Structure 1
Amino acid sequence: MVAALLMLFSRISKSFEMILLGRFLYGYNVGLGLSVHLMYLGESSPKKFRGFLTLTSSIFIGFGKVTGQIIGIKEMMGTEDMWPYLLAVSGIPAILQFAMLLFFPEAPRYLYIDKGDTEGCKKALQWLWQEEDLKQELDDMEQERLSSQGEKAKTVKDVLTSRCVRWQLLTLAIPCAGIQFCGINALYFYAFDIFRQSGVPEGQMHYLAIGIGATELIAITLCSFLIDRAGRKKLMGYGYLLMGITMSLLTAMLSIKDLNSWIPYVNIALIFCVICIYGLGPSGVSMALPADLFLQAWRPSAYVISGTVNWLSMFLVGMLFGYVVDGLGQYCFLIFVAYCIFSAGFMIYFVPETKGKTMLEIMEEFNKINYKNGGNDTERTDITLATKL
């Protein structure tokens, strides 16, 4: 809300510093708020809806993109007079969220496992789900609490160095980096060049951009209905594989774009295909991973790592992509194709499915990989004994 006020009054004050500070505060809020929001959803969701509810964050990110693209066109707020108001629009959802969150309870898993507040947890569950039969979820939380009894909250260093979460960490880091390194931002960048080659008038470009944003939103919405049926592993693994294949085809078509007048239109279709595949798999599913892969004591630090990897990857792509395009042209996509194929192979062949499993069941699946050749390990033994209790 402070950032929105800074944007709103920056032109009156003739201060570009206010814009920079407002942008910094917006970025701070997104970086912190997204991780905390995802953690709250993961700790408040019933097992059968955990994937769907966590994915709603991706849906509203997509909705935010489309909304920004729509109100940013010159017929609405994309004008010389309206730009301070356009930059301040983000303050409106911030006000709504600030007012509504006052009425929300604390996350049930946090209350039950971290605070030991059984009654507070039951009240929170009843308020959130409007259900009376909570035995199954409470039993699941009780098992998780017993498994982590006596454990303190883990630090980022613990997550990075502990053998018992090694494969969970890899399963988290590779897809989170893949959100940026799969080439989706490069595709958005290149899309306008392809539109121009196809003869799209300059004034109509923004409408095609809205179409791309709407395609991503629709695909992510479809993903939310598929995630608890198809599973995370299939959606991400085969999503990355199809993205790699489609971008390989796009690279080949860009290389021969001058041979025929219809080829640029094929390239436009391929762009929409990649966006659709991205929304159906990698974009949405990666948001649900920390809630699925880590127990309560590890989860906050896992979200820190997830957010850091995501934003650092975005920074690297933003800083380096211009030089890559200058050097490689349309062949820049081959770098992203390689990462997509690598991510697909990792997800399909090395990562167990988490669909419909409790936190402890997921942990046991990963323990089989973490300690495959480890013999007797103290850390593993402690966890296994606690799980059996």
Structure 2
Amino acid sequence: MTIRVVIFLEFVQVQYWRLYLLAVVLGIGGSFQYGLQISFLTAPAKHIQNFVNETWLGRYGVAVGDSTNTLIWSFIVSVCSLGGWLGAIHSGSLPVKYGRKKALLINNVVAMVAALLMVLSPTAWSFEMILLGRFLYGYNIGLGLSVHLMYLGESSPKKLRGFLTLTSSIFIGLGKLMGQVVGIRELMGTEDMWPYLLALGGLPALVQFLSLLCFPEAPRYLYIDKGDKETCKKVLQWLWQEEDLKMELDDMEKERESVQGQAAKTVLDVLRSRAVRWQMLALSLPCAGVQFCGINALYFYAFDIFRESGVEEEQMHYLSLGIGSTELITVIICAFIIDRAGRKRLMGFGYLIMGVVMSLLIFMLSIKDMYTWVPYFNIALIFSVICVYGVGPCGVSMCLPADLFLQAWRPSAYVVSGTINWISLFIIGMTFPYLVDSLGQYCFLIFVTYCVFSAAFLLFFIPETKGKTMVEITEDFNKLNYKNRAKDSDKDDLALATKL
């Protein structure tokens, strides 16, 4: 028992307890908020729709039409994605102008305003306040997710970078689970409590706002962007509890020299420059894959399969807690193995296994009426895909912008990754109902194709990043970016990407 405790303490390295605490504080914000907002609307959906109908009746003297009610509800659900997109766009400018810490403090105020709108909407008899609140929550998530990963990635030693940045996925899973728990009928999923349920998103924002006041700015931002080496060193000593920081400071000095005199790159620079072309490919496929790997389709079909297995409708919500718990547990497992197994293997083999299991699920759904045991086997397949998703693609994709891009490129890389994620989510939300109506279970073939293609690309073309400095990772990608060109060409890009 003592040996196990010692091994665990050596793995988590308790000297970094302040850094772990920073990870918790950052996770409480945008990441936890994301999970909450995904699951919050499930339980009070009927109550919100009734409120919309009552408000319409009070204003115009007639009940709202079915098509109008559906349209308003669709906007309430989807407007969060639009806010998230806007927040992701601003994640490339606000953290550069004001710093990572101050950008998050401003962002928390946005979420608290959104919570206030939710509480006051029944009093004001205004469903428009719910729409605006959802938009502001989305903005808070879009900006908070990117800055969380940026802040933590720039504060972590390379040996813990994967573990710590994965806390974003852990808190997303925790937020989903907590949203499902508090939304049950026995707690806050009632007609009287739904405004307070929607307003709960302001609580993590308030906690993060107060907690962040006790933490310093990201050290890499202080040194590389602001040129303040002494403050950077003090911050690292405070966060890491280490005196010998020569290797880390030397690495920052090399990165700072490589971008000396150059402003932070814009999104157009990231999209057009040959210096980061393969980094963009390595970022884009997994970020889109979080939505296009079929996990949302799986959640949709899960409830139908549960019904076929004889689960009563009133018990369905509790099974969804099991799905949320499974995703959370597997993401936590991913956090402990990512720096040993490596990003490439977890993502590549994760997508491959998901594709294989979903192919089997398509077949089993086709014969579900032939044998009584098939629905139970399909439940096992659903939980298997969720486990693989949590251990691989879900968690690892969050680490990529911090791993793949140097300081000057990183803010815009987060804008690109956030944009891809939110647009993909919007596309899936708009098209998936039509895919299900026209293709049924065969809609999974689209997701299987994407998973297999992504797996092949990641396993055969993308270099591993675990245990490497930012400069070493850039050198590996330069072998792909400039494979057929002489190194003295395209000097502007090379000066940024390879100068040491």
* 1:14 maps to 2:14: no
Which residues in structure 2 correspond to 1:190-229 (within 5 Å)? 190-229=301-340
Residue number in structure 2 paired with 1:74: 185
**Which residue of 363, 382, 386 corresponds with 2:495?**
382
Residue number in structure 2 paired with 1:29: 140
1:19-57 Cα distance to aligned partner (Å, 9 max, x none): 111111101100111111111011111111000110001
> TM-score, normalised to structure 2's length?
0.76
Which residues in structure 2 correspond to 1:233-382 (within 5 Å)? 233-376=344-487, 377-379=489-491, 381-382=494-495
Shift of 1:12: 2.0
> TM-score, normalised to structure 1's length?
0.98
Cα distance in 2 between the residues matched to 1:365 and 1:104: 34
Cα distance in 1 between the residues matched to 2:388 and 2:165: 19
**Which residue of 250, 257, 273 corresponds with 1:139?**
250
Cα distance in 2 between the residues matched to 1:138 and 1:382: 20
Shift of 1:137: 1.1
What is the one-letter code of the residue matched to 1:378? D
* 1:231 maps to 2:335: no
Shift of 1:384: 6.8
Residue number in structure 2 paired with 1:60: 171
1:133-178 Cα distance to aligned partner (Å, 9 max, x none): 2222111111111222222210000000000100000000110000
* 1:167 maps to 2:253: no
Aligned CA distance change for structure 1 residues 385 and 301 (closer, same or farther; 3 Å): closer
1:228-251 Cα distance to aligned partner (Å, 9 max, x none): 000000000000000000100111
Residue number in structure 2 paired with 1:43: 154
Runs (4+) of structure 1 exceeding 3 A deviation are: none
Shift of 1:383: 4.6
Cα distance in 1 between the residues matched to 2:241 and 2:203: 29
Which has the higher mean CA deviation after the structures are superposed, 185-194 or 211-220?
A: 185-194
Count of residues in Structure 1 that have an aligned counterpart in Structure 2: 387
Bigger relative contact order, structure 1 or 2 (CA pairs below 8 A, ≥6 apart): 1
Cα distance in 2 between the residues matched to 1:321 and 1:285: 25
Q: CA RMSD in A?
A: 1.1
What is the one-letter code of the residue matched to 1:84? P
Query: Which runs of 5 or more structure 1 residues have no equivalent in the other structure?
Result: none
**Which residue of 92, 100, 103 corresponds with 2:211?**
100
Q: Secondary structure at the match of 2:166?
A: helix
Cα distance in 1 between the residues matched to 2:128 and 2:266: 36
Cα distance in 1 between the residues matched to 2:346 and 2:286: 12
What is the one-letter code of the residue matched to 1:77? M
Cα distance in 1 between the residues matched to 2:372 and 2:490: 66
Shift of 1:126: 1.9
What is the one-letter code of the residue matched to 1:219? T
Aligned CA distance change for structure 1 residues 163 and 256 (closer, same or farther; 3 Å): same
Which has the higher mean CA deviation after the structures are superposed, 181-190 or 147-156?
A: 147-156
* Residues 357, 385 of structure 2: 8 Å contact kept: yes
Cα distance in 2 between the residues matched to 1:129 and 1:93: 26
Shift of 1:14: 1.6
Residue number in structure 2 paired with 1:125: 236
Over the matched positions of the two proteins, sequence identity in percent amounts to: 73
Cα distance in 2 between the residues matched to 1:235 and 1:249: 21
What is the one-letter code of the residue matched to 1:149? Q
Shift of 1:85: 1.0
